[in-house]
Amino acid sequence: MATIKDIAEKANVSLSTVSLIINGKTSERKISRETEERVLKIMREMNYIPNISAKTMRSGATPEYILALFCSFDFRNTMMTRLLYGIQNMIDLNQDRIKVIIYPYQSGHLSKEHSHFSGAEFHAAIIANADAKDLNYLKNHQFVMPIILYNRLLENYPSVNVNDKEIGRIAALHLYEQGYRHPAIVTSTQTFPGASHRNRAFVEQLKKLDIDIPKNYIYIIGPSVRDGAQFAEQLLSDSGSSGELPDSFWCFSDSIALGLLNAFSARNIKIPEDIGVISVGSIESMFARYNHPSLTVIDIPIEKMGEGCYQFIKENRQASQPQAAGVFYETKLYVRDSTNRKRNQTSSSSNPVTV
């Protein structure tokens, strides 16, 4: 096994320089970016593994491996719970001695967590909720440990994903098949590139069906249930004089969609006869399934994606150059009350229909 001395000799730097890089103190000791990148590259090539246990554990049994999960705890809290469930399920099934440490960070500011990526705190990392700035940070840095991205694509990084364009296409086809001809899009102020791909595919699929979405039928609101409810209430008030409303809504998230449904129901809007609502499914499925009316979703298999992240880490824990392929998971359409105009269709309201 390579030692700090081996790394220092090959990189032609001092032992203290290697130690400072491992401990994330390059900025305060003014070690150049070029030197840091060279040392990290050599550490990967030589399969150097920092003695994390000696630094973090003083007594008792220590885990064989420490896995970090970087995530934003915002409107995606429930999604992170599902991701963690998938990771923990794999740990339990394999009876692995692995410790998972959660590192909360603010989307767009992953660079502020740079000191954690030295290799002294964990052996591998899963990064979730990364936005464009975070991806740019990852693109421009090298790391000594394996890193996998959750639902983001970036060259030279492995990832677990869903086909965002297919999600938008499925949503458009479903609304059309249920007889909706005047759909609207409700997206969020807190979004990510995949959401744009979904909306673009949604619009393009409808164009193929001779349906255009006017610009005033594209709404941008906050990400919460409350935001969805307030938006729906305001929309109903604004349309009072004209009586013009979209006949269906494709929502950025199930949180927004549940807010819409509750506000519409409170105003005695007939769901799905007068208005239909469909969304991406990322929170716990029970909320969408047991809401009244229940919500049609295209479910993201977050637990399976968490399992995929873990499997990658396990297979690449000793690899100096982990494979950088993206793995894509199938999404499923769950047709429920919020769009199910054709109630006599063969699929039940709680069964998946893959389009």
Taken as a whole, the chain contains a residue count of 355
Cβ pair 235, 265 in contact under 8 A: no
Query: Which ranges of 23-73 does DSSP label H, i.e. alpha helix?
Result: 33-45, 52-56
Distances, alpha carbon 287 to alpha carbons 24, 121, 254, 321, 347, in Å: 42, 37, 9, 41, 20
pLDDT of 60 over the 50 cut:
no
Tell me the pLDDT tens digit for each residue of 215-248.
999 999 999 999 999 999 999 998 865 668 999 9
pLDDT (average), residues 276-303: 94
Query: What pLDDT, on the 0 to 100 scale, is given for residue 243?
Result: 66
Report the Cα 331 to chain-centroid distance in Å. Answer: 14
Closest of 119, 146, 148 to residue 7, by C-alpha:
119
Cα dihedral 38/41/46/49 (nearest 10):
110
Most confidently modeled range among 45-49, 89-93, 134-138, 169-173: 169-173
Most confidently modeled range among 47-61, 127-141, 198-212, 281-295: 198-212
pLDDT of 346 over the 50 cut:
no
Residue range(s) occupied by CATH 3.40.50.2300 in the chain: 4-158+304-329, 164-301+332-353
Residue 355 and residue 342: Cα distance in Å, rounded? Answer: 16
Tell me the pLDDT tens digit for each residue of 15-24.
888 888 777 6
In this structure, CATH architecture of domain 164-301+332-353: 3-Layer(aba) Sandwich (3.40)
Q: At 59, is the pLDDT very low, low, confident or very high (cuts 50, 70, 90)?
A: very low
Angle between helices 254-266 and 225-238 (to 10 degrees): 40
Specify the higher pLDDT residue, 51 or 249.
Answer: 249
The yes/no answer on whether domain 4-158+304-329 falls in CATH 3.40.50.720 is no
Cβ pair 178, 249 in contact under 8 A: no
Cβ pair 295, 261 in contact under 8 A: yes
pLDDT (average), residues 306-334: 84
Query: What pLDDT, on the 0 to 100 scale, is given for residue 347?
Result: 41
Please identify which residue in the block is written with the tokens 């100096």.
Answer: 320
